[in-house]
Amino acid sequence: MIDFPFAMAVFPATGNFGFSREPIRKIPGNQAGKKRLIFYPACGFVFFRVPVVLHGAYAGIGIHCPRENSVGNIIIVGFGSAGYAAVMAVKRADSRAAVTVLDPKHEDLMHPCGLPYALEGHVNSDHLVQSINLHRMGVKKIKAQALRIDGGARVIHARVDGDAIEVKYDTAILCTGSVPYVPPVKGATETRDSGLFTLTNIADLERIRARIKTAGAAIVIGAGAIGLETAVALKEYLPSVVVLEMKPQVLPGVLDPDMSRLVESYLESIGLELKLSTTAGEILSENGFAGVLSGGDRLEADMGILSAGFRANTELARLSGIEHGDDGIIVDESLATSLPGVYAAGDCIAGWSVIDGKRVPAKLATCAYKQGTTAGLNAAGKRAVYRGTAGTFVTKIGALEVAGTGYTSGTAEICGYETVSGKITSNYLPEYFPGGSEVSIKIICDRASGRILGAQAIGERGAAERINLISMALEFGVSAGEFGRVELAYCPAVSEVHDPVFKAVEFAMRRMAR
């Protein structure tokens, strides 16, 4: 909540006071017809230009600190990867822009991708929380939960510590992120945080750590990247960790089955038990989580991790009449929503593929950052276009790097392509040089055009850097033949003279020529 006496202390006494002529609307907590007090600092520097109507202790008081800028008030709702990128983009475009962030978190930034590694002990969890000196950039942050947007009045209704506020905007960017998906399984809601956990924030991490101290066995529901990262972390502490996955493979949707088998073999080699094509029919409860009932089998455990994916957080959009679907808020290439003056970026939007524009899930921090940048530039009056995502990802599961980009063979065929692929396993260093290891690479191409559609790579080292090369090829529509002409750096201590990625591409080309 903005403290008016504090505002008077901060701003120089050279300011001018006055009352706005228009009464504020009647909202619970306000007195009818109360005028809005406006303070205009006359000093050379100005902090913010954000009209805020507060309710409660300072009911009806609005603090309006105007400044000259070309873009008006930009309000950013949510401060994760997309929100942060949006702030930086706006300020780079116009350092004098008036920017306010509405976000309910206590901390500024929290890096959720690091949570499984903090659980495993590779990183200090305190380092996952980052303080950003927003005030030094002229950005105001209000610890508020946005509730609804009135597009006609260009007002965001929000709540701060139980008090209702209104924040006026000229343009707004929704960066509301995603929320963990809790499947409609009997017992899941009842045991949530009573032995059954998600891993999305520091509080979740601390609860899991506390439970581990008295646990002997755990069940992880979901074999996506976060589920597998968490399962490997739990194996550091517990003798028994079981992973349930309803699909017949781990990392479904991002790896082809032949590549996922490499990951499955590794997971089993380090002692994880995989139960694929297995659903959790019921969560067992005895004063908290006690296990899972699946297909008549009773799997007992002391704790469970629910890692069934994430869903776009579209609640604010829904309540504001903004067009959205099950996969997120509908936006155009500028990331504008159906509500004039409102953009959206990050996990909350419905993404599309850079390959052909088809809808694809894109809940990745890298995507969110680029989308936030695009939305921020457009909100600041520039012209930026978001072309789509390649879905480029990497995860570190124990000792393995697992990376991918673009379409899997299965997804490409669903999208109408006739695919041909090339897969090889090769050392990324010359055989005579010590310290190398094998990396397996699969390249997927369109048979008709030769265009590269996707790739996957797995190895102890070198998977991510090779997938990053293929990601660039996807961005520019490069064919396998064109990619083969690329020249890479070589030194026997670093790389092979004929890189494994070229071997996979050449294999795909030979198969296309048949």
Q: CA-CA distance, 425 to 34, in Å (whole number)? A: 74
Classify residue 393 by its DSSP letter.
Answer: E
Give yes or no: residues 408 and 356 share one domain: no
Q: What is the number of structural domains in the chain?
A: 4
- Of 288, 308, 328, which one is at a domain's C-terminal end? 308
Contact 86, 372 (CB under 8 A): yes
Q: Domain containing 81 — which CATH number?
A: 3.50.50.60
pLDDT tops 90 at residue 222 = yes
Tell me what the pLDDT averaged over the chain comes to. Answer: 89
Cα–Cα separations (whole angstroms), residue 92 to 85, 86, 104? 10, 10, 25
Structural domain includes residue 495: yes
Distance CA 90, CA 94 (A): 6
Q: Which of 22, 51, 68 is the last residue of a domain?
A: 68
Q: By 3-state DSSP, what share of the chain in percent is helix, strand and coil, each rounded to 5?
A: 25, 30, 45
Residues 403, 506, single domain; the answer is yes
Q: Which of 49, 68, 87 is the last residue of a domain?
A: 68
Its pTM stands at 0.85
Task: For 509, list phi and psi in degrees, rounded to 5.
Answer: -65, -40
**Model confidence pLDDT, tens digit, residues 240-281:** 999 999 999 999 999 999 999 999 999 999 999 999 999 999
- Whether residue 412 is contained in a domain is answered as yes
Structural domain of 40: 1-68
Q: Smallest Cα–Cα separation from 483: which of 457, 501, 465?
A: 501
Quick one: what percent of the chain has pLDDT higher than 70?
86
Is 161 part of any domain? no
In the predicted structure, residue 28 carries a pLDDT above the cut 50: no
The answer to whether 139 and 99 are in contact (CB under 8 A) is: yes
Q: In terms of domains, do 119 and 266 share one?
A: no
Same domain, 78 and 223: no
Q: For residues 175 and 241, state if they share a domain.
A: no
My answer on whether 76 and 135 are in the same domain is: yes
pLDDT digits (tens, 9 = 90+) for 301-358: 999 999 999 999 999 999 999 999 999 999 999 999 999 999 999 999 999 999 999 9
Cβ atoms of residues 351 and 362 within 8 Å: yes
Q: Are residues 405 and 500 in the same domain?
A: yes
- Determine contact, residues 395/263, Cβ cutoff 8 Å: no
**Stretch 225-239: mean pLDDT:** 98
